[in-house]
Structure 1
Amino acid sequence: MPMIPNTTVSIEPHAKRGRSPAIVLMVIAIFNAIGFPALGQGKTSTHPALVQSIRVQSYPDETRIVIELRAAVHFTYERLSKPDRLYMDLWGTRLGPQLRYGRMPINNPLLTAINIDETPIGTRMLMELNFNGSYDVFPESNPHRIVVKLKMDSKPGPVQKDIARTESSAAERRARAEKSLQVIQRLQSSRIPRTVPAPAPAPHPDLPGLPTAALAVPALPLRPPLFASSTALSAPVAEPTIAITSGRTLTIPKVSRPPRLDDFVNGVPREAEARITDFRQREPADGEPISQETVAYLSYDDKNLYVVFVCKDDPGEIRARMVQREEIFEDDQVSIYLDTFHDHQHAYVFSANPLGIQQDGTIIEGQGPDYTFDTLWHSKGRLTRDGFIVWIAVPFKSVRFSIVPGQTWGVALGRSILHNNENSFWPYITQRENSFIQQMAGLEGLKNISTGHNVQIIPYGTFTRLDQRHEQGNTVTSEERRRGVDAKIVFGDRVSLDTTVNPDFSEVESNEPQVTINQRFEVYFPEKRPFFIENASLFQTPLNLFFSRRIADPEFGSRLTGKLGQWSVAALAANDRAANSSAVATRHGAEIGVVRVLRGIGEQSSFGVLALSRDFASSASRVFAADTRIKLAANWVLTGQMARSYDNRDGTKRSGPSYLGQLTRAGRHFTYSHTYSDVSPDFRSPLGFIPRVDIRQSGQYVSYLWRPEDRNIVAVGPAWTGVVNLDRRGRIQDWYSAADFNVFLKGQTQLTAQRSEAFERFASRDFRKEATNASFSTAWSKRIGMSAFYQQGTAINYSPGQGEAPFLSGAQIATFATTLRPASRIRSEHMYIYSRLTTLPNSDAKTTIFNNHIIRWKTNFQLSRALSLRTIIDYTALLSNTTLFAVPKYTNLSGDVLLTFLLNPGTALYVGYNTRYQQNAVESLATAPVRTPSLFSTPVGRQLFAKVSYLFRF
């Protein structure tokens, strides 16, 4: 039997006259059932290609059916008579999330209806014809599509002559096709096609008398039909275009008068807008309509892209607080996501709470959102009697995009409803695929837009006065004034250069408290300095080879980022004066350079390289790395990286490799991850965060969640984590195994119980450890949130007293945190962390090795949208038995007050004061170790600082 060719070709009518469709379909269905790749696919694929949209376009002399595809596919087709039909099989495909199976009548002189069904080999389309004429079928690329052209002939064409001349042959073909359909129906799981009626054009709710079909984008019902009617602004004739997309491609109109928030509050008529209503849940009920009515309106002008969300909800359930910019994680949110280069790899996200408080960030496919990105945009919000309205304007100057007259972007709209644990999106973005940006809709209609001149200059000044007490008891006062300029220049809308003269690398926010006592490896503290956190995700790779906190005290800094076609480029140069604190000093300290290049491969994968350099005096370090992310299937992703370091430190040269591979599967129910890393003992990355070398580590994580149809239980299920570490000589260094059970409830409530067993080799000794823990967290109330964690088991004393060897000890860890919101402008956080190490019960006498107490009390008063006052009180005490633990006793108490006026990310004023007290002479664990008068009588430092900056934008 002839094989279907392995390339996508245009097949002439009746070219397969000698082939039996029933036999072909039966053989391929059997092959698919036993696991062989589907015959007829252009490429061997582990997952079906998506049919993204189907459009029916009417012209004066012909009708076209345009099938949009995510990738090239094989297809077969044939025309049948009595009745006149054209069927097409799209091999190895499935419908995109917005498309529906079923039959749809069409009001067209050449086409009566289209039937769509799922078959074992892919997707079948059966077009019911009603004309005497010819047809043609041909594929196109860039983008991938199949076009079916129906043309009315004044006299019988070759196809009609052929059908009339070979009536018996047509009857045989029809019989074979019907037989093949019977085979498919038997192989299917009794699928019954759904019939969805075509909706009549409805009046637009905001422009009385104007039908929805007259706008650039149709009004979408909450439950989308198979077809939605609309008229594109550039349609060749006035007849509506019928699209099987439910809004998968969005065309927005240009307006001469920007929309205003008051227009929506007061019902003021506006110009034409794209109107979106079909928001679908991603969680908890994947695919179901959003629980609260949500409508979004989109338009643009020469300067901005506008989106207005009109959201319904019970006012008593809405979570909206006057907080600082970026601090809206605990509020309801609306968001717009923009893939401005339409590369399906990178996107911006602009979010706001119901009061219009902003949060922005970037997304790289395969990574979590990076909310360290900050740019200038505008938003307003207002609570209403039945919900809220949010107005957003994104300046084209604030995003990068390609230089073409007509833009095609990716777009998604989102709404988060916290009291329902709900995240919903348009278009429908499912958890059943391990992707986010790839599922976004197309955004068309943006014509002749540009950022224009785009230069940003931010001059700043800082003042610091420090009173510091030395060990001798004297106090030394120092003052520092610093002035500088940060500048950003955008070239061609796509490449931006950030540079700074005498840069401001100060940290305004303090680190969150963490346990640092009795830790074998370095504790990770995230970056908080503005210059380094912007676009930080561009420098991230699977191995953390660039950790910007390694640049402690830079004198200058410069960063170049850009997007050139499928290429993303990022480069950073800085120095570090902190290196001069060692015995060797140079004029500028250490010289540092980082270059990152990333290339998108198709819509699903990428390949990148990274180079790092650090030079100081006679020492030099180089690290080169290559990484890739490959989308294997809808839910499966393979990530890999290899790196090699070259280190010359004081004449001692070392070079070693490092490897990492990770296979992940993410889904609504089943999640799996397998990670393998291999780090040479000679691998050195002075600019990275690589806490451990000389290891070969293999780790697995697997979880399953049941999602019962219960209004109170969101999900429940077990998980298991396993990790084993060997050194490069094959000796086991440690292993870890933990099983836990999770319950997720409505109201952002989670319960977890876990049991773990572990082995660790330390200081040439073997230790077996175990632990049992439980945790609880909830944010069910608008006024209060809380979390608690308790663990009991065994742990190693890594820092024993003098003359003692490391030994196994009893261990307890407990944390308790609350968040109180007595008013919408006040947020108070309280955290207590307790850790304890004791000798084991089977020892001569159970003795406390140390108690560690960490307390933080943080309160924020949001006086207005821009003005806030924040206070922090930190208390830390280590009460140690120095015969068993090498770290001496101490007690620290600090207070921090910060007044912030933040008009936008570049215009701000900070005034702060902090003071710290320390006591090292604690008597014993048995007596009261902390005496407040003694503690407050030992100040070790006070600091007053101020910082002002202003954004000039040209």
Structure 2
Amino acid sequence: MPMRLAALITIICCPLTAHALSLPTTHDSITIDANLDDGPWKQATQIALTIETRPGENTPAPVDTSAWLISDDDTLYVAFHAKDPDPAKIRANLSDRDRSWGDDMVGIKLDTWNQGRIAYQFFINPLGVQQDSIENELTGDESDAWDGIWHSAGRVTDDGFIVEIALPLRLFNFDDRLQRQTWGVELVRFWPRDKTYRLSNTQLDRNIACTLCQMSELTGLSEAKTSHQLQITPSLTLRQSEERGSESAPWESSDDLDFGGDLRWNLTPDTLLNLTVNPDFSQVEADSGQLDVNTTFALFFPEKRPFYLDNADQFETYSNLVHTRNLAEPEYGSKLTGARGDHSFGLLQTRDEKTNFLLPGNLSSDIASLGGPSNNLAMRYRYNHSDSLTLGAIATGRNANQYHNYTYGLDGRLDFTDQTHLQWLIVGSDSLYPDDLAKQAEGEQAARAHRQELSGAHFLGELKHATRNWDAYAIYRYTDQAFRADLGFIESVDSAKAILGGGYNWYPSDSFFTKVRLNGDVDETRSNDGERLEQEAEFRFSAEGEYQSYLALWGVTRERRGRRERPEDLVLEGNAPMFHEAFGGLNIEFKPRGNLALELHPLYGDDIDFANNQPATRRQLNTFVKWQPLPQIVMEVDHLWRQLKVEDGTLFTANLTDLRLNWQFSVRSFLRLSAIYRDIERDPSLYRYAEVDPKTRAVSTELLYAYKVNPQTVFYAGYADGRFNDGFDNGLEHLERSVFTKFSYAWLL
């Protein structure tokens, strides 16, 4: 029987029911080499990925894909044979881990508690490049920051490609008291051609808002035991840095030699202990460039450090109460996480030698530092009462000399139906700050920092209804002026915001576009005293289609406050003027060829000149190009141009260019050049309240070689430097440079 006809009969006869897959066991060895010639594969359960879930809606898959599943005492093995009618069009590039999205790809999703809340995801391209992530149904996040140690191999064949995967059971938390496991599972293939086709063994009903709860069931792993394996990862970092005040001044050098180590130990089948001592938390790989001109709120940088990323999903809440990037220079730390049945918990402790935190406001925020050490603690508990009700509790604390900040809260989610849910978070805080904190701050933050003792509350609630074609939501967020979450990243206080929004989806057939969406919302934000901060209405018309294209037209009209003219006065009326803005833009993304991705994001309309508290016109163009001329070479260029015009002329023109050039020698090693260029030209005569340099230019570069046996066994060697101008001419002075190397090795005992 032809494959597509068989798939169609299966879909018609078995509509939208998750079926069970049986997992056999073997005592014979399997070599991960992408050959499928080991004997155990003949005993494995074979599954066909016969269903197209996107862009088609549970239609027959356009290509054949077979998968095999089998296990031994400590490893789950998965294999795929992905056939292709034209193997020459297979997209397979050598790249670093988690950087091959857009290639042909196969993978497996596993919910080891079968609760439809959290799932591990493992994907592999045809050359064996690994992608892993954790999908969280409660928060809606899908984070690839987590990296597990597992094994894979891939090989392109005459009729497609073959992939083999070995997933050690030590990666997972599960209840090993059960004689037989039942996990949620989905096998997935991404086939990017004229469109990106998502193929699966499981049908997905778009009228059900939850996707993880629709996974098939995998039964087996009889009397499986989670590993008590001990992983010890010592690290050594050497850095020589040189700085000088000007090109005529001599270089001043400093040498750093740091020993550190991490320990990862499964104390019990469902409890994981992480320890770290004197960790190397230097940013080996440079952060993406950000432009901070004419902004009033602090910039956000994501976490990258392995110790904090392991089981980080345990600490997630609807608001960001645990932002570990705030922990700048930890001396040591420990983390205990686990889950059993319907219960999960997390405990994080760190001694930080430099206490950084956010000074929030309702019109601006800034970063403060106490300079001295602090003890930091985060505790999290979650209880899955049923498939429809989840409850949780969280507490955080930072404590130092003449300083503390504690938060304590409750959260939960209630699913009324498959389409409707309510989510909430209630948090209180208690804070004590040193008397001289206000000296670090300016403007609104200085006025708020005069209060040393603070107790406040924060509330966030969302009611959402989503079906195949339409969705609607209502969100309310309240944060009083005394609330602080210094271990998190909550930058707005003294505010209450209400949002009403929704949208409608169309799914055209036999059309260039496969999904069309119209959505929008209205919102209003007021201070705790009832003064209006902002009122906004926005709409967006978007479409997804061929060439992996995405097109969006959007517009915003709003009224919002400028900065306070008397910073010491927190009153808004007569102090912070209200401005009317109307602006809009386009988002254009597409792949004209498999090795070329393009993005274009123009924006035009009203803005506020915060430096002078006057209306302005903003012109902005953000472009992104990703080009892979060879499978092992990729170039990414992200350029942002922004111009702000006021009544008397052009206030500033800013350019930010972020260049990444990567040469991947193998799956394990690469050479990467990163360069970030910032160029801001201002007209000093248009700044009424401050003196500014007419030109600000800076270039930071980094050349990095990396060899990665796995995410924890790595070797880095690199060179970085910084060049700056003096504010008046076009020259760049070479003022910073450093060479560094890092080595860490994961011993599995």
What TM-score, normalized by structure 1, do the two folds share? 0.71
Structure 1's unaligned 5+ residue stretches are 1-198, 206-218, 229-242, 801-805, 841-845, 924-929
2:453 to 649, 653, 661: 653
Contact 1:909/1:948 (<8 A) preserved: yes
1:808 partnered with 2:615: yes
Q: Distance in 1 between matches of 2:230 and 2:136?
A: 25
Residue 743 (1) aligns with residue 537 (2) = no
Q: What is the deviation of 1:364?
A: 2.4
Q: Which amino acid aligns with 2:71?
A: Y
User: Where do residues 250-269 of structure 1 align in structure 2 (5 Å cutoff)?
Assistant: 250-259=21-30
Q: Map of 1:471-550 to 2, 5 A cutoff?
A: 473-550=249-326
Distance 1:623 1:479 in 2: 39
Summarize deviations over 1:158-190 as a string: whole Å, max 9, x none: xxxxxxxxxxxxxxxxxxxxxxxxxxxxxxxxx
CA distance in 1: counterparts of 2:505 and 2:740, whole angstroms = 50
8 Å CA contact 1:257, 1:271 repeated in 2: no
* 2:599 maps to which of 767, 775, 787: 787
- Give the Cα–Cα distance (whole angstroms) in 1 for the partners of residues 171 and 309 of structure 2: 17
- Partner in structure 2 of residue 395 of structure 1: 168
Q: Distance in 1 between matches of 2:129 and 2:262?
A: 25
Secondary structure of the equivalent of 2:108? strand
Partner of 1:162: none
Pick aligned residue for 1:457 from 210, 213, 232: 232
Q: Which residue of 2 aligns with 1:191?
A: none
Matches for 1:532-931 after TM superposition, within 5 Å: 532-579=308-355, 589-650=373-434, 652-762=452-562, 763=564, 764-800=576-612, 806-840=613-647, 846-885=648-687, 886=690, 887-888=692-693, 889-923=695-729, 930=730
C-alpha distance after superposition, 1:92-146 (max 9, x if no partner):
xxxxxxxxxxxxxxxxxxxxxxxxxxxxxxxxxxxxxxxxxxxxxxxxxxxxxxx
User: CA 1:545–1:390 in 2, change beyond 3 Å: closer, same or farther?
Assistant: same
Report the equivalent of 2:191. 417
What is the percent sequence identity of the aligned residues?
27
**Where in structure 2 are there 5+ consecutive unaligned residues?**
358-367, 436-451, 565-575
- Residues in 2 aligned to 1:520 and 1:580: alpha-carbon distance in whole angstroms: 18
Once the two structures are superposed, residues 488-523 of structure 1 have per-residue CA deviations (whole angstroms, 9 ceiling, x without a partner) of: 110222101000121121222212122211012222
Structure 1 residues 437, 583: CA separation in 2 closer, same or farther (over 3 Å shift)? Answer: closer
How far apart in 1 are the matches of 2:54 and 2:277? 47
Q: Which amino acid aligns with 1:301?
A: D
Distance in 2 between residues matched to 1:547 and 1:719, nearest whole Å:
31
Whether the 8 Å CA contact 1:664–1:673 is kept in 2: the answer is yes
Q: Which amino acid aligns with 1:807?
A: Q
Number of equivalences: 702
SS in 2 for 1:223: helix
Please give the residue correspondences for 1:161-200 in structure 2 after superposition, counting only pairs within 5 Å: none
Distance, in Å, in 2 between the alignment partners of 1:265 and 1:584 is: 58
Output one character per residue of 1:198-224: Cα deviation in whole Å (capped at 9) or x when no partner.
x9xx9xx9xxxxxxxxxxxxx994235
Of structures 1 and 2, the larger Rg is shown by: 1
Match of 1:310 in 2: 81
C-alpha deviations, 1:420-460, integer Å up to 9, x for none?
A: 22222222233321112211122112112223441000011
Corresponding residue for 2:446?
none
Q: 1:375 to 1:263 in 2, by over 3 A?
A: closer
SS of residue matched to 1:779: strand
Q: Distance in 2 between matches of 1:709 and 1:442?
A: 31
Q: Is the 8 A contact 1:223 1:278 kept in 2?
A: no
How far is 1:262 from its partner? 6.6
Alpha-carbon distance change, 461 to 226 in structure 1, aligned in 2, over 3 angstroms? closer
The 3 A distance-change label for structure 1 pair 883 and 793 is same
Contact 2:227-2:266 within 8 A present in 1 as well: no
Matches within 5 A, 1:372-387: 372-387=145-160
Q: Which amino acid aligns with 1:595?
A: M
Which residue number corresponds to residue 440 of structure 2?
none
**In 1, distance between residues paired with 2:657 and 2:41?**
54
SS in 2 for 1:295: strand
Mapped partners of 1:706, 1:585: distance in 2:
55
Q: How far apart are 1:834 and its partner, in Å? A: 0.6
Tell me how far apart the structure 2 counterparts of residues 797 and 452 of structure 1 sit (CA, whole Å): 58
Structure-2 change in CA distance of 1:648 and 1:248 (3 Å): same
> Within 2, Cα distance between the matches of 1:375 and 1:851?
44
**C-alpha contact 1:829 1:857 (8 A) present in aligned 2:** yes
- Give 1:433's aligned amino acid: I
Name the CA shift for 1:268/1:540 in 2 (closer, same or farther; >3 Å).
closer
Structure 1 residues 502, 583: closer, same or farther in 2, change over 3 A?
closer
Two-structure CA RMSD over aligned residues (Å): 2.5
Q: Distance in 2 between matches of 1:604 and 1:437?
A: 13
Whether the aligned pair in 2 keeps the contact of 1:629 and 1:639 (CA below 8 Å) is yes
Q: Secondary structure at the match of 2:556?
A: strand
Hey, what does 1:15 align to over in structure 2?
none
The structure with the largest strand share of the pair is 2
SS at match of 2:685: coil
When residues 371 and 354 of structure 1 are mapped into structure 2, their CA distance, relative to the original with a 3 A threshold, is same
Are 2:128 and 1:352 aligned?
no
Deviation for aligned residue 1:729:
2.0
The answer (yes or no) to whether the contact 2:700–2:721 under 8 Å persists in 1 is yes
The aligned counterpart of 2:111 is 339
Structure 2 CA distance for partners of 1:796 and 1:948, relative to 1, 3 Å: same
Task: Tell me the equivalent position of 1:11.
Answer: none
Q: Distance in 1 between matches of 2:400 and 2:36?
A: 61
1:837 and 1:406 map into 2 onto residues whose CA distance is 64
| Pair 579,689 (structure 1): closer, same or farther in 2 beyond 3 Å | closer
Q: Which residue does 2:244 correspond to in 1?
A: 469
Residue identity opposite 2:591 in structure 1: A
Aligned to 1:843: none
- The TM-score with structure 2 as length reference comes to 0.89
Give the Cα–Cα distance (whole angstroms) in 1 for the partners of residues 369 and 43 of structure 2: 69
Which deviations, in whole Å up to 9, do the C-alpha atoms of 1:41-69 show, x marking residues without a partner? xxxxxxxxxxxxxxxxxxxxxxxxxxxxx
RCO (CA 8 Å, sep 6+): is it higher in 1 or 2? Answer: 2
Measure the CA separation in 1 of the matches of 2:56 and 2:458.
Answer: 42
Letter in 2 for 1:415: R
Tell me how far apart the structure 1 counterparts of residues 660 and 369 of structure 2 sit (CA, whole Å).
40
Residue 222 of structure 1 is matched in structure 2 by: 7
Deviation at residue 562 of structure 1 after TM alignment: 0.4
Task: Give the CA deviation at 1:351.
Answer: 1.2
Deviation at 1:914, TM superposition (A): 0.7
The residue identity in structure 1 corresponding to 2:124 is A
Say if 1:261 and 1:312 are closer, same or farther in 2 by CA, change over 3 A: farther
Using the alignment, how far apart are the partners of 1:623 and 1:245 within structure 2?
Answer: 43
Note the C-alpha offset of 1:686.
1.1
Counterpart of 1:563 in 2: which secondary structure? strand
- Hey, what's the Cα distance between the residues in 2 that align with 1:668 and 1:824? 38
Using the TM superposition, name which of 688-697 and 881-890 deviates more: 881-890
What CA deviation, in whole Å up to 9, does each residue of 1:595-643 have, x standing for no partner?
0111112123311111000011011111001111111211222110011
Aligned partners of 2:473, 2:420: CA distance in 1, in Å?
A: 10
Alpha-carbon distance change, 292 to 917 in structure 1, aligned in 2, over 3 angstroms: same
Runs of 4+ in 1 over 6 A off after TM superposition: 243-247, 266-269, 580-585
Distance 1:907 1:224 in 2: 48
Give SS of 1:578's match. Answer: coil
Per-residue displacement from partner, 1:264-302 (whole Å, max 9, x unpaired)? 566989432211115322221121122211111111112
